Chain A
Amino acid sequence: MASLITCPHCGVRPKEEFSIRGDAVPVRPAPNAGAEAWYAYVYVRDNPKGRIQEYWHHAAGCRRWLVVERDNVTHEVFSVRDAADVARSGSGEAA
């Protein structure tokens, strides 16, 4: 029926404005990382219950990709960050 996400750029918005891409934890490997790393990045996913990080796209708002950390049981949202900020701060960015 409804749920709300607080976009760091646009404020509180309904879920209808977003689309979800899935797990935000895997980091795109370096080009020469090898088959195993690429296989894991593209295909291997845990299916955890509880606190997860997901990519949400604010498609009908600022059009930014966000990393939403939330509980997939209670839908409690812990943080919403811009994906570019997360990528810049992360260690795994492929140059």
Chain B
Amino acid sequence: MVSHRLAAGGLVNRGNALSFTFDGKTYRGLQGDTLASALLANGELLVGRSFKYHRPRGIVTAGSAEPNALVTVGTGARSEPNTRATVAELYDGLSAASQNRWPSLAFDIGAVNSLLSPFLSAGFYYKTFMWPASFWEKVYEPLIRRAAGLGRLVTEADPDRYEKAWAHCDLLVIGSGPAGLMAALAAGRAGARVILADEGFRLGGSLLSESSAVGGLPAAEFAGQMLAELATLPNVTLMPRTTVFGWYDDMVFGAVEKVQKHVALPTPDLPVERLWRIAAKRAILASGAEERPLVFGGNDRPGVMTAGAARTYLNRYGVAIGQRVAIFTNGGSGYALARDLAASGVEVTALIDARKESGDAVPDGVRLIRGGAVTSTRGTRALKGIIADRSGFEEDLACDALAMSGGWSPVVHLMCQRGAKPVWSDERQAFLAPDVGAAFVAAGSAAGLDRLSACLRDGADKATVLARDLGFAAYEAEIPDVAGDYDPDFAPLWYVPGSKGKAFVDFQNDVTVADLGLSQREAYSHVEMTKRYTTGGMATDQGKLGNVNTIGIVAGMRGVSPAEIGTTTFRPFYTPVSFGAMAGTARGEHSRPVRRSPLHGWAARNGAIFVEAGPWYRSSWFPREGEKTWREAVDREVRTVRASAGLCDVSTLGKIEIFGPGAAEFLNRVYSNAFLKLPVGKARYGLMLREDGIVYDDGTTSRLSENHYVLTTTTAYATEVMAHLEFAAQALWPHLDVRFASSSDQWAQMSLAGPKARIILQRVVEDDLSDAAFPFLSARTVLLKGGLAARLFRISFSGELAYELAVPAGYGEAVADAIMEAGYEEGICAYGVEALNVLRIEKGHVTHNELDGRTTADDVGLGRMMAMQKPDFIGKHLATRFGLTAADRLQMVGLKPVEADAEIKAGAHLLKENAKPSMVNDQGFVSSACYSPTLNSFIALAMLKSGRERYGEKIVVWDALRTSEVLAEVCPPVFVDPDNKNLHV
């Protein structure tokens, strides 16, 4: 391979050679190179194969619109497919591999698709893979996926770190070219907080590729000088390697910063990428313009690229794109390249201008072909020559590179992401940015300007207006002179008539002019339909390069203006953003916040097996040595509670402190049962409804003093109930003098349950706990031995004599340890939520298994808690409507299998004996089920049609999912101590 690196020039560091590999072969590049410029410098023109036809493809651009040069960078878990070589910063040790070829890039078997191309035209997939339907999933899709080649995802876990961060500024400047730099400087000097973000690893944008002199300096040096000043301003933040990919509501911009994508081995103290949300008061889009390719036969041959890209490789990287370069242009851009190539001593074979006239200066010794066009190209894996046509005369010109310029399209994506459509300009022959209000404006070539001097001025002017708008003193920026400024004005040429061979519009998805024609003939003529029918613009580059040409060509076919065709919809992201960046640190253990009970350590010491319950980790059972299954542990825990005592962590219940003279009335309105007369020192079970009459949540509320209550919620609904109460207090009854706040985290709360509970607790508590002194439903502050104040509630979920003790969270573990020690002789055990569940099912107490958002108080046997004599409470007014009081509603019952060892599972449905399983025959379902070691039988709670009238009936418990059918007897839902004798001992 011939080296294409020129002897001098460019912004590369010739003293710092970097070694890299491409498809296993080692190459050298220079610091400051992209992977693309380094490959070109090494004469590697062939970098990929096209998606459908597997045609050999080379580098087309020098930026983020690149459709062809997609490679996999990195190895192992760090492999990143579909990386655009044109924006991949070269680093020592970079390893890249081409994609979509087998067995090798040069010899690709898939290229046989090219011979089949008559059958692979637009709509091919839709027409071919239609029938039978079942074939789609099993046959067609896997086939297509294997043949359609993008890079392969690695399945190993990503070893790198990602972060997300917020930034705030007065002015966000997107793009650091001439307009962006001047904008940042004008606003920065005025004192505004400015963020200047650019996707490039070196700031300066197109100034880095420019050969003109700006302010008496080479353009890149001028950019350097500006950046040096910006760096000294404390109110300006420079963000290189940062792509602003999206514009969202309320002037929030999404951006991704490549922090460590340019190093072989990232340090773990920094993320590899950082996702930014930038809240900007104002923003300037200075994203420049994209050069349009020309559409002619064989325009995808490796060696054909845009003139602007050729100029960037020449001026910024010191790389000639070929030894003999032909130029095909419809405007001034081709001339600028010709001048730069000639000045660098690179041979320009011919400058072919599609226009018959132009005032552009042709450098000495360059042959100009006016009114000409390229109709086809020669070469297979590299360009060997072109056929130039002028007035019907064809000429074969030998060359190894062809630079093309089809005019410029402002890069307006971000301004179109929130619904506004770009606006066609006949004068500019381009789609211009829509007016999206004064807060976000385009500047420079993104605003449709062409000359460098105009872009510099526009950036400064627009920033000055925005800064003034925000109250910053106006700053008059001096606009530097530009020597050698040129006019890249162009005349439209959407495609070259008389082209031979395939003329590509969308390189990445292999969409040709012929495909566009077919879509029009087959009536898929709306631009959104054309896009989907041809897949033009649907590749990873989202049509950045090809879409405007597509619109121009379709307009030409239909004989209308591109304005009538319009554009497809612009959506984030401007360029692909990795899932890693989107996830940030939210991976593995950091996926979501974790809540820990203050008794977590106590539970862990006692051997708890934890289960996730929302954000909580709750202790589910405490296995002891010799217990082989969870059931053995749970059965023992239940038996111990019924026979002696057990201690359970109930800290996760929501706790709300309620204060004020209006508290009683407030509680009376949010609960269905009466609360006005709850005495101080007493707890009461309360039922909350939704406004539609359905049960919402339950819990106990205790009156600690005249105007101070503590309300408890279930663990699952703690957050929701708090918000519900706040809504009631603020939006419904703001005149009630009630204030409340959560105290859930203040207390470690433990339930001590069992006939020995009092004896054990009395050893720890100073106050008299006798039934007379502290009867059932007592609730007050007590002193523990030694003086620690605690809240004690005599309430029971298990049906046994039970207390809930709450101590300040930091003392939780010590107090729980003390209770375990105090109960050692009685054989106290720690019990978890599984045993708690068995205990409450045995007692017929409901949880959200029964309060499932469909049940009324009466459905679950709590009809007595509907205090209908109260004038108002949430849920009262719709509770009496017909549907909620119908006789055949599902009512909570107990179920006992006829054979005690037959297992009933929650979720099973209920059928009358001998009835066929059907929706019509459905009698209800099992809401909770367990093995009861107290009854030595499986038992269940179920919702059954008119259930309370059916005690004694035999019913089939039918579970098709787990293929079981059990005959059970319907019984009252309270299996132990139905007379509540145990509660009052």
Contacts and interface: CB of A to CB of B under 8 A. Distances in A.
Interface of A: 1-4, 12, 14, 19, 21, 28-29, 31, 33, 35, 38-39, 41-43, 55, 57, 59, 63-65, 74-75, 77, 82-84, 86-88, 93-95
Contacts of A3: 248-250, 252
Nearest to B731: A83
Interface stretch (B330-338, B345-353, B393-401, B869-877): B869-877
9 contacts: A2-B277, A28-B691, A57-B726, A64-B726, A65-B730, A75-B250, A77-B250, A83-B727, A87-B732
A1 B279 contact: no
Given A31-B876, A41-B691, A94-B872, A65 B252 contact: no
Contacts of B723: 19, 57, 59
B730 A38 contact: no
B485 to A, nearest CB: 39
Contact of B734 (A14, A74, A84): A84
A51 to B, nearest CB: 16
B254 interface: yes
A31 B876 CA distance: 9
A2 B254 contact: yes
A35 B246 CA distance: 49
Q: Which secondary structure dominates where chain B touches chain A?
A: mixed
Contacts of B166: 14
Contacts of A74: 418-419
B881 A35 contact: yes
B872 A75 contact: no
B584 interface: no
Given A2-B252, A3-B248, A75-B250, 16 more contacts: A2-B250, A4-B249, A4-B250, A4-B251, A4-B279, A12-B279, A14-B166, A38-B878, A41-B691, A42-B691, A42-B878, A55-B727, A59-B723, A65-B730, A74-B418, A93-B732
Given A2-B277, A94-B872, A28 B732 contact: yes
Given A2-B254, A4-B252, A31-B871, A63 B734 contact: no
| 10 A-B pairs with least C-beta separation | A3-B249, A84-B734, A2-B252, A31-B872, A4-B250, A83-B731, A75-B249, A38-B877, A84-B730, A65-B730
B522 to A, nearest CB: 34
B602 to A, nearest CB: 30
B253 to A, nearest CB: 9
Given A19-B723, A42-B691, A64-B730, A93 B249 contact: no
B917 interface: no
Nearest to B727: A65
Interface in B715-751: 719, 723, 726-727, 730-735
B727 A93 contact: no
B871 A39 contact: no
Contacts of A57: 723, 726-727
Contacts of A31: 871-872, 876-877
Nearest to A39: B878
Nearest to B870: A31
Contacts of B881: 35
Given A1-B248, A3-B248, A57-B723, A87 B730 contact: yes
A71 to B, nearest CB: 10
Contacts of A43: 692
B730 A83 contact: yes
Nearest to B876: A31
A20 B734 CA distance: 20
Contacts of A63: 726
Interface string B408-441: 0000000000110000000000000000000000
A50 to B, nearest CB: 14
B572 interface: yes
B246 A1 contact: yes
Nearest to B880: A35
Contacts of B277: 1-2, 14
Interface of B: 166, 246, 248-252, 254, 277, 279, 418-419, 572, 691-692, 719, 723, 726-727, 730-735, 871-872, 876-878, 881
A26 B881 CA distance: 20
A87 B731 CA distance: 6
A87 B734 contact: yes
Nearest to A34: B877
Contacts of A55: 727, 731
Given A42-B692, A65-B727, A1 B735 contact: no
Contacts of B733: 93-94
Contacts of B419: 74
A63 B734 CA distance: 14
A1 B277 CA distance: 8
A84 B878 CA distance: 25
A39 B727 CA distance: 20
Contacts of B279: 2, 4, 12
B735 A21 contact: no
A78 to B, nearest CB: 13
B711 to A, nearest CB: 16
Contacts of A64: 726, 730
A77 to B, nearest CB: 8
A55 B732 CA distance: 12
**Which of A1, A3, A33: most chain B Cβ within 10 A?**
A1
A30 B792 CA distance: 39
A4 B277 CA distance: 11
A42 B878 CA distance: 9
A64 B741 CA distance: 12
A76 to B, nearest CB: 9
A17 to B, nearest CB: 13
Contacts of A2: 248-250, 252, 254, 277, 279
A42 B881 CA distance: 13
A69 B6 CA distance: 63
A94 B732 contact: yes
Contacts of B877: 29, 31, 33, 35, 38
A22 B562 CA distance: 43
A21 B727 contact: yes
Contacts of B251: 4
A29 B872 CA distance: 11
Contacts of B572: 1
A1 B252 contact: yes
A62 B31 CA distance: 52
Nearest to A82: B730
Contact of B735 (A14, A33, A88): A88
Nearest to A38: B877
A86 B872 CA distance: 22
A93 to B, nearest CB: 7
Contacts of B876: 31
A43 B719 CA distance: 24
A33 B877 CA distance: 9
Question: Which of A4, A21, A41, A55 has the most chain B CB atoms closer than 10 A to its own CB?
Answer: A4
Contacts of A39: 878
A39 B882 CA distance: 13
A80 B692 CA distance: 28
A29 to B, nearest CB: 8
Contacts of A42: 691-692, 878
Nearest to B732: A28
Residue from the set B692, B719, B877 with the largest chain A CB neighbour count within 10 Å: B877
A77 B876 CA distance: 35
Contacts of A35: 877-878, 881
Contacts of B732: 28, 87, 93-94
Contact of A88 (B719, B726, B734): B734
Contact of B726 (A1, A38, A65): A65
A28 B729 CA distance: 13
A33 B732 CA distance: 16
Contacts of B871: 31
Nearest to B275: A1
Contacts of A86: 731
Given A38-B878, A75-B249, A1 B730 contact: no
A19 B722 CA distance: 13
